[in-house]
A and B are shown apart, each in its own frame.
Chain A
Amino acid sequence: MQRGKTARLVDDSEKKNPVRRVKDVEMVVPIAYGTVSFWLGKKADEYHSHKWTVYVRSALGEELGAIIKKVVFQLHPSFNNPTRSVEAAPFELTETGWGEFEIGMTVYFHPDASEKPLEIFHHLKLYPEDDTGPQSTKKPVVVESYDELVFSEPSEAFFSRVQKHPALLINGKQNPPSAAGAVETEKKKGDSKEQNLSHWFLKHSDDEELDSIMSARENVMSRVNKLKADLLQLENEAARLKANVAH
């Protein structure tokens, strides 16, 4: 690999103020977003049967305030002020309601990143898939997706500010976790509300998926080799038959 360690800086003249970008650095922020929804049980009424929280969080259990400036949640138009902006971490929003709908989340980055906001969509789920027995008020319905924010050429200012941040993977390597957050687990500290919710956050690991893909690839490889051998045999057969005719 000839690209070496020297990071090349290239000025990018966008919006009239040039932004220096760090070349050959891929900064990845693993995130998880989704909803946790509690059935309100006896307290439920016609329009407020569930209390739910939608959130964008670090999949590594770290704070994201240094990277994300704000998250604008777009709720169903039947809510009061359906466009809600959460300006500081944790980027979560709690509401009560009765219906499931698609929540739009627009993630804004700090201005030094000079990146356009990113849109994510999540379908709010209130009712469990398996329709067995009455819903419990204790066990919420949690739907969470893993994803990665990829900065393939982070701006110089942004990169120098956040490059040591524990929520980041830089060129595939994870930064050391912060003292506050345990690696790949939920955060233990923080205010009580967050602690409540973080109990329900899902853990994400690509191991299982990677294993299934790798075993599938091996399987496909052997099938391909077998097919190639068969094909070769048939080709020889065809050649032999043709040669017989020639004689």
Chain B
Amino acid sequence: MADAKDILGLPKGAVSSGGDKRRSTKDAQKKPDGVSREVYLLTGGLPPIMPALDPSHLKKKKAADSAKKVTWKWRAFTSSARSDNLQLSHWERIVDNVETTGDYAFAKYNKAVDVVRYTDEEYAKYLNDKSWSKDETDQLFDFCEQFDLRFIIIVDRMPTTRTVEELKERYYSAAKAVLLSRAGTAEEVADHSLLKDTYNVQYETERKKSLGILLSQSRQQEREDAEVLAEAKRITEIRLSNKKAEEAELLSKSAPETTTTTNEPTDKSPRTPARPKSPGQVAEAGPSIAAPVPSAPVASTALTGASPAASGPRPPRMYLRSAYLGQLVQTSTIQAGVRTTKRVEQLLEEYGCRPRVKCPTKRVCDEHMELRKELVALLQLQKQLTWKENEVSVLRENPYADIPTPSTPKRSHRANDHERVTTRATAVGAEIDSFSGERVTKRDHKRKAPARFSDAPPSPPHNKRARKMKASDA
């Protein structure tokens, strides 16, 4: 509609009856065949959203019916489904004077269960059970016949208090025993449904119990489960893609490399400090949240284009800055958890920063990631504080309370973390752990990072890289 108004040069919000009228007269189409005038008018002359029925199809059916002569007749009938031979009457449709004969059309739906019955002798021989008397068993079988094995109804009518499972167990095992005793060999009745699909009490009780647990779950639990599953899925996906990238990398690097015009000393330097190889390794080299005066150092590293603060997935050789930032954010989401990240983004907006950077220069992206890390640390601290407050208030109330907390909340955090996402690399856990703590070591850590690349490779990917370096240097 907005388009039509635009074409007519009318302001968007204004009501324009003239334009509509002109349109309707201009666009008035012919009524398609096979659609009644009233129905057509109801649609307001506009083409329907759904494709209309083929009008020829509508007509054909009518024609086929009208060729025959249809009459209706009041007739008496009996039903084979009834045992009392009750005579009732109904209107019957008669086409071309041919009267329908035979049984009542709905009689075939009266299905009766063939309940196995037993004689006194058989009961004495095969069906003796300490927990079931003969009277009770008789009654059960009577009910089974009467209510067509609807055990839920039967259980209400039984004079003794038994569970549905007990009733089913008794009926099916008894029926089975009788059948087997009557048959000469086991093969004769092997096809009988009572023997093919035997009743399993343990399985049934277990199934109902599980179902009960599942159905009594609260919405919140369901949400949490879904969240955990989604997180797990994302982690596997990321791992898969990382693995693929790594393989591709290895493939391209392992091909024969020709010697280059390099001078020796540079070979000793880390090949590319700017791009750590795997996420795990990154986490070790990575976080620098504790830098209190961040502008100066970060800016300088940013300018050199090789900042060790660049944690997260290894950047490709050529990339779009914003896309890479998106990857970094995704990785940090996996590290910190979905809920924490949501909180972080709320806080970002409270501070007037966009969760999605508008002008992704290198400095903005670096600072943005730092801010995110700091916010994660802030949230962690807040959590710790509430914990501690609880502990203190409990201690005040009852100094002898045995508080089941680990001595430092730090440790508890790590434990939580591992529980939540066990699949996560341990290095990441260590990283989050260290948020709470020593700033000094943190910074040292950061400064040391490039040096570590060259001397003592702490993880397998390093080894690979080191080996490769040698291969390419030779």
Contacts and interface: CB of A to CB of B under 8 A. Distances in A.
A20 B262 CA distance: 12
A52 to B, nearest CB: 14
Interface string B277-319: 0000000000000001011000000111110000000011111
A157 B426 CA distance: 42
A127 to B, nearest CB: 8
A214 B256 contact: no
A135 B10 CA distance: 9
Interface of A: 1-4, 6, 8-14, 18, 20-21, 23-26, 28, 30, 39, 41-42, 44-46, 49, 98, 109, 113, 115-116, 118, 120, 127, 131, 133-135, 145-153, 171-173, 204-206, 209-210, 212-217, 219-221, 223-224, 227-228, 230-231, 234-235, 237-238, 241-242, 244-245
B186 interface: no
Contact of A8 (B266, B371, B388): B266
B75 interface: no
B174 to A, nearest CB: 67
B446 interface: no
Given A118-B320, A172-B302, A221 B258 contact: no
B363 A44 contact: no
Nearest to A232: B388
A217 B3 contact: no
User: In the complex, which range does the number of interface residues on chain B fall in?
Assistant: 35 or more
Interface string B342-366: 0000001001111001111111100
Interface in B1-51: 2-4, 6-7, 9-13
Given A213-B364, A213-B368, A220-B374, A149 B318 contact: yes
A151 to B, nearest CB: 5
Given A234-B388, A235-B388, A228 B6 contact: no
A146 B360 contact: yes
B240 to A, nearest CB: 21
Contacts of B6: 39, 44, 49, 135
A237 B306 contact: no
A216 B352 contact: yes
A236 B269 CA distance: 47
Interface of B: 2-4, 6-7, 9-13, 252, 255-263, 265-267, 269-275, 292, 294-295, 302-306, 315-322, 324, 348, 351-354, 357-364, 367-368, 370-371, 374-375, 377-378, 381-382, 384-385, 388-389, 391-392, 395-396, 399-400, 450-451, 472
Given A14-B252, A172-B303, 17 more contacts: A3-B269, A3-B450, A6-B263, A6-B265, A8-B260, A8-B266, A23-B272, A28-B362, A150-B319, A150-B321, A150-B324, A213-B353, A219-B351, A231-B388, A235-B388, A241-B399, A242-B399
Contacts of A49: 3, 6-7
Contacts of B13: 131
Contacts of B378: 220, 223-224, 227
Contacts of B9: 41-42, 44, 134
A116 B363 CA distance: 25
A171 B314 CA distance: 18
Nearest to A146: B359
Given A1-B304, A213-B353, A148 B361 contact: yes
Contacts of A30: 361
A45 B7 contact: yes
B385 A227 contact: yes
Contacts of B3: 46, 49, 98
Contacts of B385: 227, 230-231, 234
A203 to B, nearest CB: 10
B400 A210 contact: no
Nearest to B268: A2
A213 B371 contact: yes
B303 A217 contact: no
B305 A24 contact: yes
A18 B275 CA distance: 21
Interface core residue of A14, A109, A150, A244 (most chain B CB under 10 Å): A150
Nearest to A3: B269
B365 to A, nearest CB: 9
B259 to A, nearest CB: 8
Contacts of B303: 171-173
Contacts of B295: 214
Nearest to A208: B359
A148 B451 CA distance: 29
A237 B392 contact: yes
Contact of B318 (A2, A45, A116, A210): A116
A244 B472 CA distance: 66
Given A172-B302, A217-B371, A209 B359 contact: yes
A149 B320 contact: yes
A166 to B, nearest CB: 17
Contacts of B294: 217
A64 to B, nearest CB: 15
A215 B352 CA distance: 10
B21 to A, nearest CB: 18
A27 B435 CA distance: 33
Nearest to A48: B7
A175 B364 CA distance: 20
